[in-house]
Amino acid sequence: MSKAVHKRHFKNTELSAPEVTLYTVDGADIEQEGIFEAAVETDGVAAQIRSLVCPKIDGVYMSLKTCKRLYIVPEKFPNLSPKLIARIAKGESHKVAVTAPQAAAEMSKKKRQVA
């Protein structure tokens, strides 16, 4: 996640020290500001994830593991299901919401009240 996205949407979230070292394809270190917990939701499926804040990265990137947990890609990726192929052909995409843990708890409460 970029530093700008973190400041704009998660300014009240404290960053912890990074737990891993990231490298570019050519072996250079990727500078990290820190890490924080966030809730990610798409198409009614939610997951708690750790988000890394990297000043030289633009936007938000999710790991393949997270994408599988959220059913953005099939568990058996790269094998695509006919249903997913049809969604892609129609130009449909997943809508992803990333929130701080407190907001995720509120979101879950509202969903339980509606059901």
pLDDT computed for residue 107 by the predictor: 53
Which residue matches tokens 């990726």? 77
d(CA 56, CA 33): 10
Considering the chain, what percentage of its residues have pLDDT values greater than 90? 0
Find out whether 104 and 37 touch, Cβ atoms under 8 Å: no
**Lowest-pLDDT choice from 40-49, 50-59, 74-83:** 74-83
pTM, rounded to two decimals: 0.54
Structure tokens at 38: 């966030």
Question: pLDDT tens-digit profile of 2-51?
Answer: 777 777 777 777 888 888 888 888 888 888 888 888 888 888 888 888 88
